[in-house]
Amino acid sequence: MKRLSLFIVLFTAVLTSCHNRQGVAVKEVPAVSPQILNPVETDKKMLTIQGGSYLGFLGKDSGRIVEVKSFKIDEAPVTNAEFLEFLKKNPQWTRSKVSRLYADDAYLHNWKSDYEIPDNAKPESPVTNISWFAAKAYAKSVGKRLPSIDEWEYAALADEVSKDASGKAEFTQYILNSYQKKGMYKTSIKQQKPNYYGLYDLYGMVWEWTEDFNSVMISGESRGDSSQNESLFCSGAALTTSDLTNYAAFMRYAMRGSLKADYSVNNLGFRCAKDL
């Protein structure tokens, strides 16, 4: 009899502990989430861009005035050294640990190891081969966010001397020339002259992730989009761009439209932004 009661007590104990553990296991799901981030310190300089408006480039925005609120943006792309700091604090984002949901297998493939930057790049080179999810996580960890397409395009209208150089043929030519340079992502940031606002390397170094890159629906990947969008790129796509001479912008949108958020690309990096 004694034994029986002991048995019952033990049985209950085991069952209870079992339930407890089950509960804990379920709760662990968010706890291991790569989105729960340790904060990272950064002293990267940010510049304030006064809000305004610009002429939209594509589709429904083509020829439409797009309003942009004032915001802050990093003066240059995030570097290997800065990204390394982020990885040290957030190992769930290292190459060997990152979730396949958030990065394809090209993620940081050029790094020597989880915490060693590529041989052929410098600590002050822009970090590349990072997915949109990783860029977003980095931005969050430093208390910032990714810029929107409109913010990026608005800030990138400036040449060295004016806020809006979009009407200058030589500026377009400068951008197109810079797009033809190869391997610039292996060089250090801030070697070129900054633009009117003091922003470096918007052109000719890396393509940059934006928060809403997936609002560009121009590639085969946007498969069977809803009807409003058909005019965007099918047949006469280029004709909907507001300014046919602005082939450079067209290239950027085409690039964005071809991306998926888990893609990691050799010459695709990012910089962060922030509300004022």
Binding of residue 267 to another protein (CB under 8 A):
no
116 makes contact with another protein (CB under 8 A): no
Q: Calculate the CA dihedral of residues 95, 96, 99, 102 and round it to 10 degrees.
A: 10
Closest to another protein by CB, 102 or 200: 102
Least distance in angstroms from the C-beta of 113 to another protein: 20
231 contact partners, CB below 8 Å, separation of at least 6: 59, 237, 240
Helix (H, G, I), strand (E, B) or coil at 134: helix
Phi, psi values for residue 144, rounded to 5°: -125, -165
* 136 near another protein, judged by CB under 8 A: yes
Determine the Cα–Cα distance for residues 276 and 272; give it in Å rounded to an integer: 13
Among 9, 35, 39, 115, binds another protein (CB under 8 A): 35
DSSP string, 203-241: SSS-EE--TTGGG---SGGG-S--GGGHHHHTTTGGGGS
What does the radius of gyration of the chain's CA atoms come to, in whole angstroms?
A: 24
**Residues of span 167-226 touching another protein by CB under 8 A:** 211-212, 214-217, 221-226
The one-letter amino acid at 141: S
- Name the segment binding another protein (CB under 8 A); options: 55-63, 79-87, 153-161, 168-176: 55-63
Q: Token pair for residue 163?
A: 């806020």
Question: Would you give the end-to-end CA distance of the chain in angstroms?
Answer: 74
Compute the least distance from the CB of residue 176 to another protein, in Å. Answer: 26
Q: Does 228 bind another protein (CB under 8 A)?
A: yes
Q: CB of 116: closest distance to another protein in angstroms? A: 23
Interface pick for another protein out of 7, 115, 160, 177 (rule CB under 8 A):
7
Per rule CB under 8 A, is residue 5 in the interface with another protein?
A: no
Could you give the string, one character per residue 79-108, with x where binding to another protein holds by CB under 8 A and - elsewhere? --------------------xxx-------
To which H or E segment does residue 174 belong? helix 169-180
**Residue span binding another protein (CB under 8 A) among the ranges 5-13, 117-125, 156-164, 246-254:** 5-13
- Of 175 and 232, nearer to another protein (C-beta) is 232
The residues with which 275 forms a beta bridge, in sequence order, are 71
Do the bridges between strand 207-208 and strand 268-269 make them parallel or antiparallel, or are there none, so unpaired? parallel
Nearer Cβ to another protein, position 68 or 216? 216
Q: Which stretch binds another protein (CB under 8 A): 67-75, 131-139, 166-174, 267-275?
A: 131-139
**DSSP state, 93?**
G
CB nearer to another protein: give 7 or 123: 7
In contact, 264 and 95? CB cutoff 8 Å: no
Number of H helices, E strands in the chain: 7, 7
Strands 268-269 and 65-68: unpaired
The count of chain residues that interact with another protein, using the rule CB under 8 A, is 50
Min. distance of Cβ 160 from another protein in angstroms? Answer: 32
- Where on the chain is the footprint of another protein (CB under 8 A)? 3-4, 7, 10-11, 14-15, 17-18, 21-22, 25-26, 28-30, 32-36, 59-61, 99-101, 132-133, 136, 145, 211-212, 214-217, 221-229, 232, 260-262
